[in-house]
Chain A
Amino acid sequence: MTLDQLVLRFQQKDTIAFEKLYGMYITNICGVITAIVKDEDLAEEIAQDVFIKAWNNAESYTASKGRFFTWLLNIARNAAIDEIRSKSYKTQKQNLSVDFFVGILENEPVSEAETDYSGVLKLLKNLKEKCTQLIELLYFRGYSQKEVSEELDIPLGTVKTRNRNCIGQLRKNMTAS
C-alpha cells in the first residue's frame, strides 16, 4: 500500500492503517520532541499525545496542504513547545535555549543520562554551525523564514537557498556510510 492510500484509510478511521503510520513515524516524532524538551521520557509521553491528537483530528489533514509527515511534525512541535512554556516544565528545567544539535556537536551533555548520538554526529558531519542552527529552527522549531533571518542574523533573501545547501550536505552525509 502506498503512503497516500495509508493516509486515506487512516482518515477513514482504519486502525490498521493508523498502526502502520504510527510504526513509521513514532521514532521521528519522539526525536523532534526530544530536540525541543531535551528529555526522552517526557518526549515519549508527548509523542503518545501527538498520535492521539492526530487520530482525533484525522479529517483536518489535506494532502494538498502538505506532506503527512509535515502535518505530524507540526502537531508535535506545537505540543512540545506548549510543554516547555508550561509552568511545571519551567520549574524543572532551566535551559530553554535552541541548541539541541549544536549542543551535541559541541559535546555538551544534553540530558542527564549518557546518550549515544553517533547517528546525529554522522549526519551533521561537515555542516557549518549556521547550517545546523538553520535546520533546527526551520524543521524542529517551525520558525518562519523571517524569524530564522532575525535569529541567525542572515539576510532574509538568502534563507531559502542557504537552507537548500545545508540540506544538501545532510543528504550527502546520509548516503555516505
Chain B
Amino acid sequence: MDIEKYIASGVLELYVAGTLSEEENREVHRNAEQYPEIMQEIEAIEASILALSSAAFTGKAPEYHTITNLLKSDDRVRNLSPKKSGSWISYMGWAASVALAIGMFWIYSENSQLKSDLEMSNQQNLNLEEQIAVANDSKAKSETLLKTLREKDIQVVLLGGQDIAPASYAKAYWNTTTQEIYIDAEGLPEPPDGMVYQVWSLKLEPLTPTSLGLLSDFTSDTNKVFALTNPNSSEAFGITLEPAGGSDVPSLDKLYTLGVVSS
C-alpha cells in the first residue's frame, strides 16, 4: 500500500470526523493497526480538533463528582417469577409471534441488503466525482502552461545534449519581462537515486555560472515542465547532474545539456 498517498487522500480526516461508512471505518482501523505512520497521522488530526474544541469553551468545565450520583450501577437485575399458563390462546399467541418474528426478520434482511447496495453506489459516485475533480485540476494546469508558453515576449532556447549524454535535450522558455523560466526536461533521462538535475544561468566571458534551482521530484512530475525564476541577464543555460540538494558550482563533467541564448 502507498501509505503517503493514502494519508494524502484525506480519508483519515473524515475518519476522525466520524463521517465514513462502517465498512470504511473498519478499513481505516485495520490500516492504522498495521502501519504506525497512519496511527500517528490520525492522532495528530484528532489533536487539532481537540485543540479547537477546547478553545471553543472558555468557562470552567463541570467536575467529575457532579455526575457521579447519576451514574447507573449494575445492581438492578430483576427476577421475575414465571406465570403458569396453558390455554390454547397462549399457544396461538406464541405461534403468531413466531410468524411475525420470521416476517420481521425477512423484511429486515431485505432492507439491509438495499441499504448496503445504496451505500455502495454512493461510494462509487463519490469516487467518480473525485476522479473528475483530479482531471479538472490537471486540465486547468495544462491550460495555464500552454498560455504561458504562448506569451509574446518569451525566448525559446534549445539545450542540446553534451558528451556525457548526446541524445538528451531540453528546452528553456524564458520570459525576460516577468523573469520566469520554464524548463521542459522531457528529453532528459531519469536521474539516478540520490542525484538531481540543477539548472544554471551562464555568462560566457568569463564563464560565470549562477544556479537557477533544481528540477526536484523529477520522477513523479508527469509533464516534466519545471518553473524557475531567472533575474539574470543570461547568455546561455546549462543543466548538470548534481548530488541531492544541489551544488554551489556546476560539476562540468556531468553537463547534460547546454544552449546559447540568441541575441
Contact = CB atoms under 8 A, between A and B. Distances in A.
B114 interface: no
Contacts of B263: none
26 contacts: A27-B61, A28-B53, A35-B53, A44-B62, A48-B66, A48-B67, A56-B71, A64-B29, A64-B30, A70-B16, A119-B54, A120-B55, A122-B55, A124-B52, A138-B19, A139-B16, A142-B17, A143-B19, A145-B19, A157-B126, A157-B132, A157-B133, A167-B45, A167-B49, A170-B48, A170-B51
B10 A28 contact: no
Given A52-B70, A70-B17, A161-B10, A174 B47 contact: yes
A160 B17 contact: no
B56 A31 contact: yes
Interface in A21-74: 22-23, 26-32, 34-35, 40-41, 43-44, 47-48, 51-52, 55-56, 63-67, 69-71, 73-74
B15 A66 contact: yes
Given A28-B50, A171-B44, A171-B48, A155 B17 contact: no
Interface residues of A, number: 66
Contacts of A89: none
Interface residues of B, number: 55
Contacts of A19: 64
Given A34-B56, A52-B67, A163-B14, 17 more contacts: A22-B67, A30-B59, A30-B61, A31-B57, A35-B56, A40-B57, A47-B61, A56-B72, A66-B15, A69-B49, A101-B56, A143-B19, A160-B10, A160-B14, A161-B10, A161-B133, A171-B48
Contact of B13 (A63, A66, A163): A163
Contact of A55 (B49, B72, B134): B72
Interface in A149-171: 155-158, 160-164, 167, 170-171
B132 A73 contact: no
Nearest to B132: A157
B139 interface: no
Given A22-B64, A55-B71, A163-B10, A67 B42 contact: yes
B17 A156 contact: no
A74 B18 CA distance: 7
Interface in B103-137: 122, 125-126, 128-134
Contacts of B30: 64
Contact of A44 (B10, B29, B50, B61): B61
Given A31-B57, A47-B62, A120-B55, A65 B126 contact: no
Binding site secondary structure of chain A:
helix
Interface of A: 13, 15, 19, 22-23, 26-32, 34-35, 40-41, 43-44, 47-48, 51-52, 55-56, 63-67, 69-71, 73-74, 100-101, 115-117, 119-120, 122-124, 135, 138-140, 142-146, 155-158, 160-164, 167, 170-171, 174
Interface of B: 8-11, 13-20, 22, 25-26, 29-30, 42, 44-59, 61-62, 64, 66-68, 70-74, 122, 125-126, 128-134
Contacts of A66: 15, 18, 20, 25, 29
Contact of A63 (B19, B29, B44, B133): B29
Given A66-B18, A70-B17, A163-B14, A31 B54 contact: yes
Contact of A32 (B13, B56, B72, B129): B56
Contact of A167 (B13, B55, B70): B13
B251 to A, nearest CB: 37
B47 A158 contact: no
B53 to A, nearest CB: 4
A28 to B, nearest CB: 4
Nearest to A169: B48
Given A52-B70, A52-B71, A139-B49, A30 B57 contact: yes
B13 A31 contact: no
B25 A26 contact: no
A64 B25 contact: yes
A4 to B, nearest CB: 11
